[in-house]
Each structure stands twice: as structure tokens, then as C-alpha cells.
A = this chain, B = another copy of it.
Amino acid sequence: MEFTIVGAGMAGAFLALSLGRQGHVVTVYDRRPDPRGATVAVTSMNLGLSRRGLAALDRLGLSEEVTRLVVPMRGRLLHNVDAGPRFSPYGDGGILAIQRQDLSALLVDAACREPGVRFVFETRCTGLDRDRPSATFEGPDGRSFEVRPDVVVGADGAFSAVRRFMHHELRAEFSQSYLEWGWRELHIPAAADGNHRMADDVFHLWPRGDTMMFAHPNRDGSFTCSCVLPFHGPDGFDSLRTPSDVEALFRREFPDVLALVPGLGEAFLRRPTFNLVTVSTAPWTYEGKVALIGDACHAVYPFLAQGMNSAFEDALELTDSLARHPTDPAAALARYYARRKPNTDALAAMSHRNFAELRDTVRSPAVRLERACDTLLEKVLRHRWMPLHAMVTNTTIPYLQAQHRASRQHRILKVLGAAALSAGAVAVGRRLRR
């Protein structure tokens, strides 16, 4: 079959490769330049490749190639303001830090090795006729042209044009929601000897309640940081107008980082601020003719680091569904949607909740206590108890199943907590009666 994919990001390039391997003919269009030449613009936080993503790359025989590009992170290191840093391991496998541009170039390269796959860059999708189906594009010379594949796939991100065209005047469910927090990227350069200036095998996390920061190690000795602040309020982006405003905030909240980035104030103010959006929509497909994958149909808050990992799962499920119904694309697309939608809905809910937890880790004793119990039970009940984060990150358990299991565990913790409280109350009562 013949496919047109709009968007050559992680989702689109991976899908092109996956479909190409099945012998399909695929053309991928992207309005941006070729990632193998140009510098890829920052559009999302650092990439964290976890078990699911790695399993997907492995299925396409890429895990070895990818391994050469990653920096493994075996756990997270919490940087506290008062006490020293605290380490908590990720468990099996950990998470692999990888730079967007590296992985993007690798995927495009690998896809281009398939005889049926080609990429067309700097070419924007300007229209879709979902019934034929056909799509129109405008190339770098300003000229328009039309293509007529069997299926058009929108892999064009949270603000997907394909989605908008596909849903036009249909009874489509759609919601978008933004956090009152945004983020900016910061760069911690390598030391003079080329080494990392902090531990290079962990995910660095500075949770501070209303503000927080993360850092991923890069292969060149540097770190890429994501600094998450509210838009408004005393520590908000709005209030940081001069380099000394920025430095005052860092001195108070992230003093160790301030020492590592020369000219931090100016560097911070030069960077653009990014939003944190979540998008949910239905349906994802139109007959056997149009489909959406990745952020185009389920953009989530990035704090569980599952955006790319879930997009790879989408692509494999779509490919598998087409293989299962080789002559019936409508049945294939329906199967793909039915199997993925409940899982990415669960991912969205978990990502939302995870943000609140990350924020409150530092403040709420209840959250800290539950985390501690979770980790303890994991050790005691090995394989029969697994914290949510571990199920999402270290396994390929479908998201929905992970969510159900986590909420069962949560209920057990609550019952245990209540039992502990009543036992305590009984003990106190006995003591008083004596």
C-alpha cells in the first residue's frame, strides 16, 4: 500500500521505517529542514528512552545502533536545598538519555535505507480531502502539489494540521489544556577536561514545589537542563526581567547549577519559553483513509517521559494492524485505534497526576510516605508489587493495565494505612485505660 506521512519527527520517521520494512511505499513530508543537516529546533524536553521505546527500536533491529548514542541513567538524583543529594535507583534497565537530533537523524537514515521510503523536507501540508484521500502540500519554491496515497497519516504533533482537516465538521471530541507552568532549556557545558561537571549516570532532579528543574547528561560532557517555572507570580517567567532576577532565583533554589553555568542570567533570558500542553481527541482515524499517531492524537505532559515511547508503540500497533488486515485498511485502522486509545488515555491521566506528585515531592509528607511504602513493598514483594513509575518506565505492560494495577496498589496502601492508624488508636486507647 501507499502511505503519505505528514511530519518527520520521532513518530513519523519511526512509522516510515516500520511500514517500509513491511514493503509499503511511504513518503514523509515535513515543513522543517532535514534533521541530518540542520540543527533541530527544541520543541520538547530532553528525550528519555525507556524500556518501551527500546523494545520498539529493538523490533526494528536498531537497538544496537541507538545504544551508541545514549547515556544510561541508572536512577534519579534529588538535589535538595538544605541536605545533600539523595539517590533513588530506577531498577531494571534505567532510562537512556539521548539527544533529539541524534535519534532523529538515525531514524531518518534508517528509514531511507528501505527501498520504498523517501523524505521530502521544507514542505508544508496545506489541505486534506479525507474521502479520496488526497493531501496538498506547498514546497520550498512556494508551488503547490497534490498526492493521492491509500492512507494519509498525521504525525504532525500537538497542533496537527491533519487532525484539523480530518475532523472538519465531524462530531469530533477534542480538548486541549495547558499548565500554568512553562519551561526553558539551559545548557551546562562540559568541564575543561571534557568531563561532566556532575554525576553523568543519573537523571538530575531539583524539585522545589512551584519551580523545578531536570538535567540529562549528554555524551559530550555537557548537560541539557529543563527549567520549569510558573508563568506568573514571584518566581514566574513574567517576573524574571534582568539577569540578576534570574540569578537570585537560582541562588535560592538551584545554587549548585548557578555555579556551573557561566553567564546563566543572560543565557536564561535569551531562551524561548515553551508551553506544556495536553491534547485529547477522538476519533483518531477516518474510515480506512486517514490516521493520526503520536502527539497529534495524544500529546501529554512530559514528566513521565513517555511521549516518544508511546508514539513508537502507536507506530508498531498501526503496522501490525495493517499486517493483520492486509486488504482491509478500514478494519486495520479501526483495530489500531481500539487498541491504542484506552492506553494513551491512561497515559494522559498518569502524566497529569505525575506532574502534581513531582511538584509536591518536596512538600507533602503524604506523597513522600506513599513513595517510601511503595519502594519498600517493591523490595519485599519483588515482582508482585511494582510502583507506577517502574511499570511505565521499566516494562512494556500496556499503560491501561499499569494504571489499573497502580490504583489497586494505591487502595491496598490506603487500607494498610487505615489499619496502621486504627492499630495505633487501639494501642493508645489501651494505654489510656490502664
Q: Determine whether the beta carbon of B171 is less than 8 Å from that of A174.
A: no
Contacts of A175 in B (CB 8 A): 174-177
When C-beta atoms are compared, the residue in chain B nearest to A179 turns out to be B171
CB under 8 Å from chain B, chain A span 163-213: 171-178
Separation of A172 and B275 alpha carbons in the complex (Å): 11
**A174 vs B176: C-alpha distance in the bound complex, in angstroms?**
5
A-side interface mostly: strand
Residue numbers in B under 8 Å from A178 (CB-CB): 171-173
Smallest CB–CB gap between A8 and chain B, Å?
A: 23
Task: Give the docked Cα–Cα distance between A151 and B178 (Å).
Answer: 26
Most B Cβ at <10 Å: residue of A171, A174, A178: A171
The CA-CA distance from A175 to B173 in the complex, in Å, is: 8
Chain B nearest Cβ from A134, distance in angstroms: 25
Interface residue total, chain A, C-beta cutoff 8 A? 11
> Are B177 and A176 touching (Cβ within 8 A)?
no
**How many angstroms between the C-alpha atoms of A178 and B177 in the bound complex?**
18
Is there contact, CB below 8 Å, between A173 and B173? no
A275 touches B171 (CB 8 A): yes
Report the separation of the CA atoms of residues A175 and B171 in the bound assembly, to the nearest whole angstrom.
13
- Determine whether the beta carbon of A176 is less than 8 Å from that of B173: yes
Inside 8 A of A176's CB, which chain B residues have their CB? 172-175
Q: Which of A263-281 contact B (CB under 8 A)?
A: 275, 277
Q: Which residues of B contact A174 (CB under 8 A)?
A: 174-176
Instruction: Please report the C-alpha to C-alpha distance between residue A275 and residue B174 in the assembled complex, in whole angstroms.
Output: 15
CB of A159 to closest CB in B, whole Å = 9
**Which residues of the partner chain B approach A172 to less than 8 Å between Cβ atoms?**
176, 178
**In this complex, what residue of B is CB-closest to A275?**
B171
Min distance, Cβ A280 to any Cβ of chain B, angstroms: 8
The answer for the CA separation of A164 and B178 in the assembled complex, in Å, is: 16
Taking the closest CB of chain B, its distance from the CB of A327, in whole angstroms, is 25
When C-beta atoms are compared, the residue in chain B nearest to A231 turns out to be B171
Assembly CA distance A386 to B174 (angstroms): 36
Q: In the assembled complex, which residues on chain B have CB atoms less than 8 Å from the CB atom of A275?
A: 171
Q: Give min CB distance, A94 to chain B, whole Å.
A: 34
**Contacts of A177 on B, CB cut-off 8 Å?**
173, 175
Q: State A284–B173 Cα separation when bound (angstroms).
A: 21
Chain B nearest Cβ from A288, distance in angstroms: 18
Q: Output the least CB separation between A6 and chain B (Å).
A: 20
Which residues on B sit within 8 Å (CB–CB) of A171? 178, 231, 275, 277
| Distance between Cα atoms of A231 and B170 in the complex (Å) | 13
- Of chain B, the residue at the smallest CB distance from A174 is B176
What are 14 A-B contacts with C-beta separation under 8 Å?
A171-B178, A171-B231, A171-B275, A171-B277, A172-B176, A173-B176, A173-B177, A173-B178, A174-B174, A174-B175, A174-B176, A175-B175, A175-B176, A175-B177
What 6 pairs across the A-B complex have the smallest Cβ distances? A175-B175, A171-B178, A174-B176, A173-B177, A171-B275, A174-B175
Query: Beyond the given A171-B178, A172-B176, could you list 12 further A-B residue pairs with CB under 8 A, ordered by the A residue number?
Result: A171-B231, A171-B275, A171-B277, A172-B178, A173-B176, A173-B177, A173-B178, A174-B174, A174-B176, A175-B175, A175-B176, A175-B177
Chain A residues in the interface with B (C-beta under 8 A): 171-178, 231, 275, 277
